[in-house]
Structure 1
Amino acid sequence: MPEPIRKISYCMTCKNRLWQLSDTLPDNLRRVEEAGDSEIVLVNYNSDDGLDAWVRRFQGCIDSGVLRYVHERSEPYFHASKAKNLAHFAATGRYVVNLDADNFIGDTIPAWRALWAEEPDLLIHGFSPDKHRKQRSEEEAARCRPDSGNGTYGRIGLPRTRFLALGGYDEHLLPSAHEDQDLMDRATAHGLPVVRRPQPGSAAIRNSHRETMRYSGITLDWWDVRELNKERSAENLRLGRLTANHGRSPVKVLLNFTEETEL
């Protein structure tokens, strides 16, 4: 008997990135509709660029369950771990996949489903190799770390129960840098197998590190933040602190324009 389809939740966040989301979200919604038993969870992290009004054009997708829309209305600055956690905590699928606002799902859904059908308890790290870096083979590309500047490093999928057991992304990290690697390192230390898969084609809209830090509310550049977060992550791993966010307080949000809830 074939393995049943397992629902996948693609978890997206946006803080004043409508200029990118207007390209990625329509295509990503089409992909999950075509695949079936999939959803996109989109967090509006208090954007002030008209995102809330723009999303209303997808009310049909909200009504059908293809799109879950989470609006955080109080935080003045973007914090990647906090925003990503809201998206993942609002998800209803068996598997959760982080997908930044500048990322395209592309043709990955069948391949990822096949991997999870073969090994249900698996973390998949998707990436797109830097087109300017010569690779001898696809196998070599899969072994190399992706270029952090190509916009696809944080494409991480794992069972939702595993994500929750890890406490999600570490909200004590500084706003943006290394949070994805920290999650993968803690998952690996927790015993979760990891497989890396390249994504062909146009996987993301390329960003600068300056753009990544633009709404963080801090003056440090991305490289300095990355080093500080790496130090915290390494210390936690050394001490065996694999579960993040003990004592975290729920966050009030508006779900699908109508439901006040906490995540």
Structure 2
Amino acid sequence: MKISYCTTCKGRLWQLKQTLEHNLSFTKVGEFELCILAYNDDTVEPYLNEAFPEYIADGRLKVKTHHDDYQPIDGSDFACGYVKNLSHAMGTGKILFNLDADNFIDNAHELLLQLKAGQIIKNTAIPLDGRSGRIGVYRTLFKKVGGYRDTGRTDDGDFVLRCLKDGAKLLHMDCELAPIPNQQKEINHDL
């Protein structure tokens, strides 16, 4: 069973550089892939092509730059749900796992190997530090509920609720590795 880890990146290459080596360690030709959508960001694809050509060549890493001026239906400044749907469309796995650029795969990998159709896996992020950007479902459930809605930045909870309303069983995941802080001043600028 193939698993696709789906990541979006817009102005977050500095975070991706810190999570990528860990996340790529979970890829395996024909079984696990990392799909990265560089949304309105021309820095990600050239970096990945230069730094990880062997992963791209064998299909463990997929990268695509996408440019458009899409506006969310709720008037917010970023179409998070729309962009996540684009990254999930890149995946070819039976299981799609949203993995924000600042997050590590961590123990999700083992849990996804046991995931069944009709289940959704989500981190129970406490503290609320961004770990909630890890959500996994079968592709069939993702399509059945229509993926993420175009509601700007508040899309994860809505997606999970729609899966639950469809009858999916929620599986909780505790992640040991905290995400990369969302402020560059907290990290090394040389990345």
TM-score (norm 1): 0.62
| Higher-helix-fraction structure | 1
Q: CA–CA distance in 1 between the matches of 2:69 and 2:21?
A: 26
Gaps of 5+ in 1: 1-5, 131-146, 209-263
For each residue in 1:111-156, what CA deviation from the matched residue of structure 2 results, as whole angstroms up to 9, or x when unmatched?
Answer: 3312x2xx332101124432xxxxxxxxxxxxxxxx2xx1111211
The CA deviation at 1:93 is 0.3
Counterpart for residue 120 of structure 2 = 123
TM-score scaled to structure 2, two decimals? 0.84
Q: Give aligned pairs, total.
A: 176
CA distance in 1 between partners of 2:25 and 2:106 (Å): 10
Largest Rg, 1 or 2 = 1
Please say if 1:165 is aligned against 2:141.
no
1:203 is the counterpart of 2:178: yes
- Which of residues 47, 51, 61 in structure 1 aligns to 2:44? 51
Q: Say if 1:13 and 1:43, in contact at 8 Å, map to a contact too.
A: yes
Render the CA deviation track for 1:21-57: whole Å, top value 9, x for unaligned. 1111122111223x97111110000114x22221112
Q: Distance in 2 between matches of 1:7 and 1:122?
A: 16
Q: Which residue of 2 aligns with 1:155?
A: 134
Is this contact kept in 1: 2:82–2:148, CA < 8 A? yes
Is the Cα–Cα contact under 8 Å of residues 31 and 106 in structure 1 kept in the other structure? no
Other structure's SS at 2:140 match: helix
Matches within 5 A, 1:83-122: 83-114=83-114, 116=115, 119-122=116-119
CA shift, 1:68, in A, is 1.4
Mapped pair 1:179 → 2:155: yes
Identity of aligned residues (%): 34
Of residues 7, 10, 21, the one that matches 1:12 is 7
| Code of the aligned partner of 1:18 | L
Is this contact kept in 2: 1:127–1:155, CA < 8 A?
no
Which ranges of structure 2 fall in alignment gaps of 5 or more residues? 71-76, 184-191
Q: 1:261 maps to which residue?
A: none
Report the RMSD for the aligned CA atoms in angstroms: 1.9
If asked which structure has higher relative contact order (CA below 8 Å, sep 6+), I would say: 2
203 and 37 in structure 1: CA distance in 2 versus 1, 3 angstrom threshold: farther
